[in-house]
Amino acid sequence: MKFGIYSSIANPPRGEDLPRCVDEVIEEARLAEQAGFDSCFFGEHHQDRDGFLPSPLIVCTAVAASTTTLRVGTSVILLPLHDPVRLAEDVVTLDIISKGRVTVGVGLGYQPADFQAFGVEMADRVELFEEKIEILRNCWSGQEFSYEGKHHSIKNLRVRPDTVQSPHPPLWIGGGAPVSARRAGTLGDAFVSTPSTTLQNTCRLIDQYRRSADAAGKQPEVVIMRDAWVAASRKEAEEVYGPEVLAAYRYYWRNGLSEFKSIKDESELTLDRIAKDRLILGDPEECLTEFQRWQEATGAETCLLRLRHAHSGGPSHGQIMKTIDLIGDRIIPYCN
């Protein structure tokens, strides 16, 4: 199993400035490359108090320019908000700059404010998403094409230059609901599971994805995204990572994410209640056992680790560097 880091550039309450946060993220990516990680991914939000930068492909370009083997990617671009031809051209450009190291993860989006900022009707997001997926693939085909849909009309277009990767950069689809998993099987090159749900639900989603991919005649590829923290002891992991992940989960609960619908009251969001079969945290031996258990249960080819939570601003850069080192030394060599 390959490992990647999912990195946010937060605007934390500690007073750090965003340019310095960007420098820290690039430094973390460099260390991840040295430690044996395969990739580094970024997400997208708009006008959000968490400080997410709104253009993940630009951040990917900065990381690609500072590394040599690390793949860079998005998890996820909010596809309904984007002009698909412009996005396709941006990806081509990054694929050239990175010498074929870009992966494009896309999703529907779930925050109304993201859609309001662009004047996009959230009710149209599934139709928009499916049309834009088809247009992206046509743009990267190297052929002239026309497209007529409910929301897009394109005549005699060929996007140049061609991508470095053939037939095009991998197109991953993220989601946390069964319908999203099935859509990934039909339309995507891989499925990225949501990081904040349980192992049992992750396996259900992956089963839906595999069935859909098989029906579409596609080779399934599973990517699990996990909230995880490796430290010298379980106590240290809980003290460093616990408050950060709980702050994020409270945010998700308030925004109605499907994986938290069974939780009736915010007071139920405690580490003792949610950690089992959801979080991977502890000392290296404990975490290695958990990573191997998740790999065996899901058959995942890649595991993306969400070490920093934008909604809380932490853990700190120094703590993240320390855990990247630990994962490189004590986890990655034993999960391949």
Name residues of the chain where pLDDT drops below 50.
Answer: 13-15
Look at residue 19 in the predicted model and tell me its pLDDT: 79
| Euclidean distance between CA atoms 122 and 109, whole angstroms | 9
Query: The domain that contains 58 carries what CATH number?
Result: 3.20.20.30
Backbone φ/ψ region at 27: left (φ over 0), alpha (ψ -120 to 50), beta: alpha
Task: Please name which of 174, 178, 167, 189 lies closest in space to residue 42, comparing C-alpha atoms.
Answer: 174
Kindly report the pTM of this predicted structure: 0.95
Cα separation, 309 vs 90, whole angstroms: 27
Q: Where are the alpha helices (DSSP H) in the chain?
A: 18-35, 56-65, 84-97, 112-118, 125-139, 178-187, 199-215, 234-254, 271-274, 284-298, 317-330
Q: What is the pLDDT of residue 208?
A: 98
pLDDT in tens, 240-273: 999 999 998 998 898 888 788 888 999 999 999 9
The total number of structural domains in the chain stands at 1
Q: Which residues are paired to 282 by β-bridges?
A: 230
Which secondary-structure segment (H or E) carries 126? Answer: helix 125-139
Residue 128 burial class via C-beta count within 10 angstroms: exposed 0-12, middle 13-18, buried 19 and up: buried
- Residue 50: per-residue pLDDT: 60
pLDDT given for residue 22 in this prediction = 87
pLDDT at 336: 78
pLDDT value of position 270: 95
Token digits for 306? 């969400």
266: how many CB neighbours lie within 10 A of its CB?
A: 11
Of all residues in the chain, what percent are helix, strand and coil, respectively (each to 5)?
50, 20, 35
* 138 three-class SS: helix
Distance CA 281, CA 110 (A): 27
Range of the domain at 294: 2-334
